[in-house]
Amino acid sequence: MDAWKAACQSDEGNASFVIPKGEFMVGQVEFGGPCHDQVSPKVEIRGKLKSLINDGDAKYWIKFYGLNRLSVSGGGELDGQGAQAWDDNKCEDTKSCKLSATSLRLHQVNNAEVYDLKLTNSKAFHMNLHKCDSIDIHDLEINAPGTSKNTDGIHLSITHNITIRNSVIGTGDDCISVGQGSRGVTIYNITCGPGHGISVGSLGKYADEMDVVDLVVKNCTIKGTTNGLRIKTWQGSLASQARNFTFEDVKMINVANPIIIDQKYCPGEDDYCSSKPSKVKINDVKFSRISGTSRTRLAVNILCSKDVPCSNIELDNIHLSCSSDDMDCKTTTASCTHAQGKVFGVQIPPPCL
C-alpha cells in the first residue's frame, strides 16, 4: 500500500506500480484514487497472485476505484483459488443473493485499459465493472471449469462505452454478462466456452433497474456452451428497456441454445418464480450471419413477454444445423412467442417470425 500511495501521488506523471515475477499470496486489497493530476500510475502485474482460499464474506479480492486513466497489464495471473467457494454461490435459486468474492473489480474508473492478464478460478465473477466509463479490455485469458457456479468471465453494470475484444473466456457461467444500466458496449473477437455464452441480463430481478442500450457483439466463436447469444429477463419484473442490439458474424460450435430470448427466466424453485409476465421491453434486436451447429433441435428460441411483446426483431442469414452430438436431431427448429419482426436471406431453421 505504501508503494501504491507513492505511485498514485507522484507528480512526475509517469509512475508505475509493479508486482514483480514470482508467486504471492494476497488478501483483499483496494487501490483507490484520485491520483495526482487525475492520472493513475501504470499497474504492471508480472507475477502470479493467489487469493486466500477462505476470505470470509469478502465481496471482492482486488479492487480499483475512483481512478482516471488507469492501465492494468503485465502478463501476470490472478488465481482466485475458488474451488471451495463454488458450491456456496447462491444468487439465482434463492431470494437472498449471496456470491463469493469477485477477483478483479473496477468501480468508478474512467478512461482505462485492462489487458495482457490471465484470470483463473475466481470464487465468483472473474471481473466486474460498475459505474465505469470508457474502458478498453483486451487480450485476456479467463479460465474456470465448466462446473464452477456463478463464475462469469466479465460482468458489466451501470457502465458506459466499454470495449471487450481479442480474448479467450471459458467459465462455469456467462463468458460475458451485460447487466442493467450498460450503454455503448462493443464485444468482438471473443472465443467463448465452456460456459453459458454471451448474455444480456439477467434483467428485471430488482426494482428501479436502468435500461440496456446500444450493444454490438461481432466476430465471435462460441463453442460447447449451454447458450450462445442470450437475452434473459425475470418473470414479474418491473418496467425497463433492452434495445438496439446487433449480433453479427458469430460462429456456433455444438451450442445447446444458439439464439435465445428468454423472458420467463427464473432458475429457482417454482414457489420463488412469479406468475406475472416480465415488463422489460425488448426491441430493435438484429441477429445477422449466425452460423454453425446446435446441440439441440430448437436452435432459435424467441420467448417474449405477453405484456410487452418483443418488437423489430431481425433474423438475417441464419444457418444453424444439428451437431453430431445430438443423434436425435435431423433438422433444427425455431420457436417464437409474442415477437414481431422480419427475416432476410438464408434461414436454417425455417423462421418463426
Nearest one of 342, 283, 281, 352 to 314, comparing CA atoms: 342
How would you write 159-194 as a 3-class SS string? Answer: CEEEEEEEEEEECCCCCEEECCCCEEEEEEEEEECC
Which one of the listed residues 126, 130, 155, 196 is annotated catalytic? Answer: 196
Nearest one of 198, 197, 202 to 212, comparing CA atoms: 202
Element (H, E) at 296: none
The position carrying cell 465452456 is: 194
Q: Is 107 assigned a catalytic role?
A: no
Task: Spell out the long-range contacts of 327-331 with Cβ–Cβ below 8 A and sequence spacing 24 or more.
Answer: 328/297, 329/294, 329/295, 329/296, 329/297, 331/297
Cβ neighbours of 102 (radius 10 Å)? 24
Nearest one of 50, 35, 42, 102 to 72, comparing CA atoms: 42
Q: Are 133 and 158 in contact (CB under 8 A)?
A: no
104, 124, 137, 163 from 185: Cα distances, Å: 19, 22, 11, 6
Active site residues: 196
